[in-house]
Amino acid sequence: MIDFALTSDGRWTAGTDELATAAGAAGFAGIGLGVDRASAPGAAATLAGAGVRCSELMALMVSRNEERTLAAARQLAAAAAAVGAPWVLTVPAAPPSAETAALLGRCADVVAEAGARLAIEFSPLGVVTSIAAARELVAAADPGRAAVMIDTWHFSRGDSTWEQLAGIPLEEIAYLQFSDAPEPLGDDGFTETMDRRLWPGEGTFELARFAGTLLDRGWAGTVSVEVLNAELVRLPVAEFARAAHDTTARFWS
C-alpha cells in the first residue's frame, strides 16, 4: 500500500497544529517534522488530533565530530520515541570511511532504542551521491537498522542510474521524497534544491518512469512530498498541502 506524507519546510512559521491539520485535511497520512517541532510538549497529541503520524524526523548530520553527532542522535531518538517516528533522516557529512561507518552504526544503535531506523539520504551536493553509495552505508550500519531514502530531486540531478533504482532490494528503501524541478538556471545546486522545486508533473523529471519502476516491482511504502520553493512556501499551508497531495497522488494510482 502506498501512503502519502508531507515533508515540512523549515521556513514555515505556522504552528505544528496548523500544519498537521492541513496535512490531514489534504489526505496525507503523515508529516515529516524537524526535531524542534517533534520535541515540543504535546506534539504527539497534536498529531493524533489531526489524524496524522510523524513519518520522518529531520535530520541527523553524521560528521567527523563524534561527540556532536552522537548528541544529535540522542536528541532525535528522544523525539522519535515521543512521537512514534519510524525514521530519522540521516545526512552523511563526512566522506565514507571505516570511522564514518562505525559512527553511523553507533547512531543506528541509539535510534534503534527508540524504535526508529536511520533513513540514509544521498545527494549530488554531498559526500554520498548515489543509491549505490548509500547502500554501502546501509550495509555498514546493518540493513535492519537503516535503509536508503530516495529523493527524486537527488536521483534526477545526481549520478544514480535507473539500473540502481530497479536493482535496489525493496526492503532497503526507507521511503521516498517526491518533487519536480525546472531546468536549472546555473550551477548553484543549493539554490536549485532549496528554492526552485516544483509540484510533481510541472517540471523536467521522469516521475512516471520513476514511480512505475518501483510500482512494477511491487514496492509499497511512504511517498513524502518535499516541494522546497521560495515562492510556494508563502502559500497558506492548507493550500500548499492540497496541491502537494493532488499533484503527487496521480503518479501512484
| Cα–Cα distances in angstroms (integers) from residue 109 to residues 73, 79, 131, 243, in the given order | 9, 15, 23, 38
pLDDT digits (tens, 9 = 90+) for 95-124: 888 999 999 999 999 999 999 999 999 999
- Residue 232 has what pLDDT? 98
- Residue 86 has what pLDDT? 98
Domain count, the chain: 1
Is the pLDDT at 44 greater than 90? The verdict is yes
Q: Over the chain, what is the mean pLDDT?
A: 97
Work out the burial of residue 4: count CB atoms within 10 Å of its CB; fewer than 13 is exposed, 13-18 middle, 19 or more buried: buried
CB 37 within 8 A of CB 16: yes
How far is it, in rounded angstroms, from Cα 140 to Cα 12? 35
Write the CATH number for 45.
3.20.20.150
- Residue 143 has what pLDDT? 79
- Residue 3 has what pLDDT? 96
Please provide the DSSP assignment of 23-61 as one string. Answer: HHHHT-SEEEEEHHHHHSTTHHHHHHHHT-EEEEEEEEE
How far is it, in rounded angstroms, from Cα 84 to Cα 72? 17
Model pTM above 0.95: yes
> Checking phi first, is residue 84 left (phi over 0); if not, alpha (psi -120 to 50) or beta?
left
Q: Rounded to 10 degrees, what is the CA torsion of 25, 7, 251, 155?
A: 180
pLDDT digits (tens, 9 = 90+) for 203-234: 999 999 999 999 999 999 999 999 999 999 99
- Helix (H), strand (E) at residue 224: strand 222-225
- The domain of 94 spans 3-252
- Residue 96 has what pLDDT? 87
Is the pLDDT at 155 greater than 90? The verdict is yes
Is the pLDDT at 201 greater than 90? The verdict is yes
Q: Rounded to 10 degrees, what is the CA torsion of 114, 83, 244, 186?
A: -50
Cis-peptide, bond into residue 59, ω within 30° of zero: yes
pLDDT digits (tens, 9 = 90+) for 54-81: 999 999 999 999 999 999 999 999 999 9
Share of the chain above pLDDT 70, in %: 100
How far is it, in rounded angstroms, from Cα 252 to Cα 106? 36
Cα 61 → chain centroid: 13
- Residue 13 has what pLDDT? 95
- Residue 30 has what pLDDT? 98
Beta strands in 99-209 (DSSP E): 117-121, 146-151, 173-178
pLDDT digits (tens, 9 = 90+) for 157-185: 999 999 999 999 999 999 999 999 999 99
